[in-house]
Amino acid sequence: MVWVRCEEMSPSQFKNLELLTEEAIVDIRALVVGKKRLAGNSLESLLEILNETSPKPRTFVHRSIKVDESFKPVNDPHNKTLSDKQNAKVILTAFQGLDAALATDERLWVTLALRDFQQYSLARWLGPGRKNSQELYKYFRTHVLASTARDRWRNHSIARLWWVANFAKSLGDDVFEKTIDVFYFNSDLGQQFLGRPNISRLPKLARCIVEVIHSETVVSTNCPWDRGNFRKFMTQIDLMIGRRKIEALPLDDILSEVKGLYTLAMSS
């Protein structure tokens, strides 16, 4: 059985993707649940085992997404946050034809985690050394499957990088790198943004929050990081959104108000 076909795009390094079907993912999930030690196996290996135990056609579905074969995510075991930040800054250029609608498809991310980026995924989340079946299964359940939106933007080995970069891109090229620097300065920051659609749907407000955090906490010590104080700040932002149509205000006015709320909350 041919489990992946690639259409080379000479002279570039991009290839068309063929993704697992929903039925194939269900079969793989059931196989790994029954034999947790298989959770670290490659896609090819898992499909071979399935064919031996339950021979039936398992096909792939084509999607108009191309991936750059030269893209190799980096993984520094001593500074995984820095590696994540570097990967997020370049991942958008590694995929052609991928938008937010297609990126909600679990089939894409499961296929990539098991096939194209399996070695990176295993190294990033499991590290060196032999792992027991429970550790392997936890990795598979948390960082390979992408069944929910939360799984995709928070836990999945590849999807989480793309979603952060996609959000940063939506705020504008001029704040793209600042946004990624903010998100990977502290894990709470990314979760607070992407986990709050009331903020992520307001680009002017989100830009201002990024600008303030970047200037006051990431590149200076004016407002040292404190998780509790940051939660107070986000509560004030929620109240701010509820009172007015923030996006109708001039950008400078939003920036000034956000900075005042941030410095007050972070110094309390």
Bridge-partner residues for 8, per DSSP? 15
CA 191/CA 262 separation, integer angstroms? 18
Domain identity same for 106 and 141: yes
pLDDT at 11 over 80: no
Which pLDDT value is given to residue 127? 87
* φ and ψ at residue 156, rounded to 5 degrees: -65, 140
Domain with 141, as residue range(s), is 14-164
Of all residues in the chain, the percent with pLDDT exceeding 70 is 96
Q: Pick the last residue of a domain from 116, 137, 164.
A: 164
pTM of the model: 0.89
Residue 93 lies in a domain: yes
Number of structural domains the chain divides into: 2
SS3 category, 249: coil
CB 181 within 8 A of CB 148: no
Residue 5 lies in a domain: no
Tell me: the pLDDT tens digits for 110-148?
Answer: 999 999 999 999 999 998 888 899 999 999 999 999 999
Q: What is the pLDDT of residues 59-112, one digit of tens each?
A: 788 888 999 989 999 999 999 999 999 999 999 999 989 999 999 999 999 999
Q: Give the burial class of 162: count Cβ atoms within 10 A of its Cβ; 0-12 exposed, 13-18 middle, 19 or more buried.
A: buried
Q: Tell me how far apart the alpha carbons of residues 262 and 260 are, in angstroms, rounded to a whole number.
A: 5
What are the strands of the beta sheet with 14-20, ordered from one edge?
14-20, 60-68, 95-96
Question: Are 122 and 26 found together in one domain?
Answer: yes
Distance CA 213, CA 11 (A): 42
What pLDDT is stored for residue 185 in this prediction? 92
